[in-house]
Amino acid sequence: MIRRQLFIELIVSLLILLFLYASISKFLDFDRHIHEMSNQPLPRFMRPFLIWGIPPLEIAISIALIFERSRMTGLYASLVLMALFTLYTGFVLFHFFPYIPCSCGGVIRKLTWGQHLVLNLFFVGIALTGIVLQHKRSKSHLYSSLKTFSYEKS
């Protein structure tokens, strides 16, 4: 049980690190972020959400992951966001778009699209693992609480 909790904490820490790094690097070079998001091969109506929505969303997910009460929500949000990033990366690799500007920040910008895919799949995998482990932890925690409650009643 302690190992499971440590593993959950490691997963959560990695996701927090990823999302905070990504959002902070976007805010630190916001002009570049605006330019790159405006140059995405996606419908124009999505641009304001991409520019103004993704960095705060990454921070909100990080905050949700910190607290036990919102951790499961943060894990599911991590999974969805990373799955969307992975889907986009897959579209890029299969030449679905006519051109491909990279909108990643910091060191991640230096990765090839294949490396992006591997990185994204890794984070999809750890988000899924975190969901499974957190769910098991919640169930076992509930079970032990019920056992304690029934012993106190006797």
In the prediction, which pLDDT does 153 show?
56
Contact 81/61 with Cβ under 8 angstroms? Answer: yes
Strands in the chain per DSSP E: none
* Rounded to 5°, angle at Cα 129 from 149 and 25: 115
What pLDDT is attached to residue 106? Answer: 66
What size, in residues, is the chain?
154
Helix (H, G, I), strand (E, B) or coil at 67: coil
The predicted-structure confidence for 74-108, as pLDDT tens digits, reads as follows 999 999 999 999 999 899 888 888 877 665 666 77
Predicted confidence at residue 105, as pLDDT, reads 61
Q: Average pLDDT per run of 10 along the chain, which is 154 residues long?
A: 90 97 92 86 89 96 97 98 94 83 68 90 98 84 53 54
Give the pLDDT confidence score for residue 37 in this predicted structure.
86
Please state whether 67 falls in left (phi above 0), alpha (psi between -120 and 50) or beta: beta
pLDDT tens digits, 136-146: 877 665 555 55
At 92 the pLDDT is: 85
pLDDT score for 111 = 83
Please give the C-alpha separations between residue 57 and each of 9, 91, 104, 112, 118, in angstroms, as whole numbers: 21, 22, 15, 25, 22
Find, among 65, 72, 36, the residue nearest to 51 by Cα: 36
